């Protein structure tokens, strides 16, 4: 099987413009509060950098790494924590920053996990949303773009760890 990438679906300029809008929304929603952005490694790194530099609030950042996929393109439904938080989140307002919500299994699990560690609130900010893939009832509070049910790569999103560095969003075509 060989894979080729499709044409550009979402440009870097579109992503930057959306990050600005979402940053302003977060500023309004959390005015006067201090937040913790929790980036989910590794896919969220580029998007997280865009959102944080466009959000003018007191904030700290932290990261978690979880896996549910391996090298396959369909979720196993099992979430494993590979790297946990380093901050104390007790009583804190958290925004999880993700690359994409597909089945929703990862974010559903993470939301419960962070609440169980004593967070005051947990909201979700995802670069992409793929509503057709949904298997658990979860909705991201801040969504960059909605995409069709195909396998997306670029701007942090990978296939088998590759293509994360593409400065735009595209999809993978398998032949
Ligand atoms: P979920 O638990 O099914 O919502 O999947 C969340 C994770 O699966 C994301 O953080 C991605 O790492 C991965 N994922 C889901 N869909 C795609 C895709 O189209 N391209 C790349 N990774 C994806
Ligand atoms: Mg991921």
pLDDT tens digits, 125-166: 999 999 999 999 999 999 999 999 999 999 999 999 999 999
Q: What is the pLDDT of residue 79?
A: 87
The fraction of the chain above a pLDDT of 90, given in percent, is 87
Alpha helices per DSSP H over the chain: 12-29, 45-53, 105-116
- Residues 58-77 have a mean pLDDT of 77
Asked if the model's pLDDT at residue 34 lies above 60, the reply is yes
Q: Output the CA 33–ligand 2 centroid distance in Å.
A: 28
Please give the pLDDT value at position 68. Answer: 75
Query: Cβ contacts of residue 70 below 8 Å, gap of 6+?
Result: 76
Give the predicted TM-score (pTM) of the model: 0.94
Ligand at minimal distance from the CA of 110 is 1
- Split at pLDDT 50, 70, 90, the class of 29 is very high
Q: Which of 50, 93, 102, 158 is catalytic?
A: 102
Average pLDDT, the chain: 93
The answer to whether the CB of 143 is under 6 A from ligand 1 is no
Structure tokens that stand for 130 in this block? 């793929």
């Amino acid at each position: 099987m060989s894979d080729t990438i499709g044409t550009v679906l979402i440009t870097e300029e579109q992503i930057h413009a959306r990050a600005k809008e979402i940053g302003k929304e977060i500023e309004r929603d959390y005015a006067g509060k201090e937040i913790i952005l929790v980036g989910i490694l590794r896919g969220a790194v580029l998007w997280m950098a865009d959102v944080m530099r466009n959000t003018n609030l007191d904030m700290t950042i932290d990261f978690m790494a979880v896996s549910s996929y391996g090298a396959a393109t369909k979720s196993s439904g099992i979430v494993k924590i590979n790297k946990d938080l380093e901050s104390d989140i007790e009583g804190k307002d958290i925004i999880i920053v993700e690359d994409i919500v597909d089945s929703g299994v990862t974010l559903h699990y993470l939301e419960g996990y962070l609440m169980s560690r004593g967070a005051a609130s947990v909201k979700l900010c995802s670069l992409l949303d793929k509503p057709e893939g949904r298997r658990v009832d979860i909705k991201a509070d801040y969504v960059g773009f909605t995409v069709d049910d195909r396998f997306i790569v670029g701007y942090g999103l990978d296939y088998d760890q590759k293509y994360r560095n593409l400065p735009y969003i595209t999809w993978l075509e398998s032949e």
